[in-house]
């Protein structure tokens, strides 16, 4: 059958496509800007006909019609692999469940049969002349989802940028069951966060560790943007990129001539990533740009792949670190905030890399809702707080007061080093708590 004929035969309305969904079905859909819109709305309209339909998503950027239409979770039960700000609010209202996962393992859950979706739903780019739909700037685990789903529905969005890739960034019409038209839903933009003075102070410590020829991975927020700006201004050369998230700061570094990827071992000369989230400037930069190479998280986040690149510098944020060196980046006292994501993947890989460094950054304090200030370096993590990085896996911790290495340090050495970069107002109390926990030598003094 000719490609165009096959396309025409599979092109249906969203209302027609979702008729195949039955009570009890499990639906997986794409993340970020790949989240379905018209299919979600059409499915929500069938609420009263369905019960116990499970939806697995990740980092939804816009309201989910199925969830908003069913506040009692009698018809649609929503789960996420990584919480966005919207999903966090759903979780607070008991309208969302979290699925723990290390990002590099997610595709294997489908391959090993641990999760078996009935239907896949995703926004894609319009079909090209060869019959392929590009997934856009969010590869993640989409290839595994589409390969292992019984039914695949794609929602063509003419505004979706084409993300060229190293592997598994598209699906052929022959592997699609239903094609639905999206009228052109604008992509969600995430503006670069404004860096605080604390962010700048932290960045000043970290930038000293980045030199010509490093391969970098930056997280999200004001700090990574500041580091990107500093790299661009410093004109650090021959940097490679192997990162989970691509953000606007990478465009700044590329345009400043800092990124050429010539000293990488994997994807030489390419900006390798698994999803992009930023402004329209970033999405325009990605569109059909051969220097950008998108691949699934099973490749990009695989520690064995990442670590092949020498001088790998991984920089990520966290919420809290305790005096034992345990890092929490996804929850606080029982309230879920985000997810493990790729933090463990890159922390492990950067340390494995020859000359590499894994850096976890945090401000020394934060302001509570009542206006009081609290320390992010704490004696122990609170009840219900999830450990994202176990203490053995943590290398560098950085605050605005400095950066310390925890590898090879005993419990009292860890406490001493962490207290040295805590806010001065909290150091005496942290020393007392360390003594109470029997991880402090009384003769030690922290300047």
CA distance 136 to 369: 38
* Per-residue confidence (pLDDT) for residue 333, from 0 to 100: 82
- Spell out a b/e string for 377-404, using b for 16 or more CB atoms within 10 Å of the CB, else e: bbbebeeebbbbbebebbbbbbbbbebb
Q: Of all helices (H) and strands (E), which one includes residue 53?
A: strand 53-57
Helix (H) or strand (E) holding 205: helix 197-206
Picking from 311, 422, 304, 280, the residue whose alpha carbon sits closest to that of residue 363 is 422
The full set of domains in the chain, from first to last, is: 3-181 (3.40.1080.10), 197-436 (3.40.1080.20)
Q: Can you say whether residue 271 is alpha, beta or left, with left for phi > 0 and alpha for psi between -120 and 50 degrees? A: beta
User: What gap in Å lies between CA 427 and CA 403, rounded to an integer?
Assistant: 16
Catalytic positions, please?
Answer: 244
For residue 413, the 8-state DSSP code is H
Q: Are strands 312-317 and 215-218 parallel, antiparallel or unpaired?
A: parallel
pLDDT digits (tens, 9 = 90+) for 96-134: 999 999 999 999 999 999 999 999 999 999 999 999 999
pTM of the predicted protein model = 0.95
Do residues 259 and 271 touch, judged by C-beta distance below 8 A? yes
pLDDT in tens, the chain (447 residues): 699 999 999 999 999 999 999 999 999 999 999 999 999 999 999 999 999 999 999 999 999 999 999 999 999 999 999 999 999 999 999 999 999 999 999 999 999 999 999 999 999 999 999 999 999 999 999 999 999 999 999 999 999 999 999 899 999 999 999 999 999 999 999 998 888 899 999 999 999 999 999 999 997 777 888 898 899 888 999 999 999 999 999 999 999 999 999 999 999 999 999 999 999 999 999 999 999 999 999 999 999 999 999 999 999 999 999 999 999 999 888 888 899 999 999 999 999 999 999 999 999 999 998 999 999 999 999 999 999 999 999 999 999 999 999 999 999 999 999 999 999 999 999 999 999 998 976 555 555
Per-residue pLDDT of 209-222, as tens digits, reads 999 999 999 977 77
H-assigned helices in 287-377? 297-300, 303-306, 343-352
Percent with pLDDT over 90 in the chain: 90
């Amino acid at each position: 059958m000719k490609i165009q004929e096959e396309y025409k035969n599979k092109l249906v309305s969203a209302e027609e496509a979702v008729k195949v969904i039955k009570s009890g079905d499990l639906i997986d859909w794409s993340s970020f800007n790949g989240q379905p819109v018209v299919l979600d709305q059409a499915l929500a309209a069938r609420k009263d006909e369905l019960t116990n339909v499970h939806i697995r998503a990740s980092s939804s950027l816009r309201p989910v019609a199925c969830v908003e239409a069913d506040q009692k979770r009698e018809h649609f039960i929503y789960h996420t692999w990584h919480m966005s700000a919207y999903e966090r609010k759903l979780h607070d209202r008991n309208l969302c469940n979290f699925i723990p996962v290390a990002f590099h393992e997610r595709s294997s859950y489908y391959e090993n049969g641990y999760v078996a979706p009935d239907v896949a739903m995703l926004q894609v780019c319009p079909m090209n002349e060869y019959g392929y739909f590009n997934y856009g700037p969010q590869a993640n685990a989409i290839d595994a989802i589409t390969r292992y789903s019984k039914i695949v529905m794609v929602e063509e969005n003419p505004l979706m940028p084409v993300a060229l890739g190293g592997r598994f960034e598209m699906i052929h019409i022959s592997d699609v069951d239903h094609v639905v038209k999206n009228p052109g839903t604008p992509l969600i933009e995430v503006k670069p966060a404004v860096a605080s003075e604390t962010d700048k102070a932290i960045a000043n410590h970290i930038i000293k560790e980045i030199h010509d020829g490093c391969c970098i991975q930056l997280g999200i927020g004001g700090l990574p943007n500041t580091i990107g700006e500093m790299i661009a201004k410093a004109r650090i050369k021959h940097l490679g990129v192997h990162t989970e998230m691509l953000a606007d700061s990478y465009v700044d570094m590329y345009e400043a001539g800092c990124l050429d990827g010539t000293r990488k071992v994997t994807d030489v000369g390419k900006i390798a990533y698994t999803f992009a989230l930023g402004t329209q400037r970033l999405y325009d930069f990605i569109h059909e740009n051969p220097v950008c190479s998108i691949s699934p998280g099973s490749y990009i986040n695989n520690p064995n792949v990442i670590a092949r690149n020498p001088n790998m510098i991984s920089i990520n944020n966290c919420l809290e670190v305790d005096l034992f060196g345990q890092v929490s980046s996804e929850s606080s006292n029982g309230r879920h905030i985000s997810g493990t994501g790729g933090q463990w993947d890159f922390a492990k890989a950067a340390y494995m890399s020859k000359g590499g460094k894994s850096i976890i950054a945090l401000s020394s304090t934060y302001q509570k809702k009542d206006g009081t200030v609290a320390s992010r370096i704490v004696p122990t993590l609170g009840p219900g707080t999830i450990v994202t990085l176990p203490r053995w896996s943590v290398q560098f911790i950085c605050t605005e007061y400095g950066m310390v290495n925890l590898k090879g340090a005993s419990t009292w050495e860890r406490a001493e080093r962490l207290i040295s970069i805590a806010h001065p107002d909290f150091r005496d109390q942290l020393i007392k708590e360390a003594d109470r926990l029997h991880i402090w030598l009384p003769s030690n003094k922290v300047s």
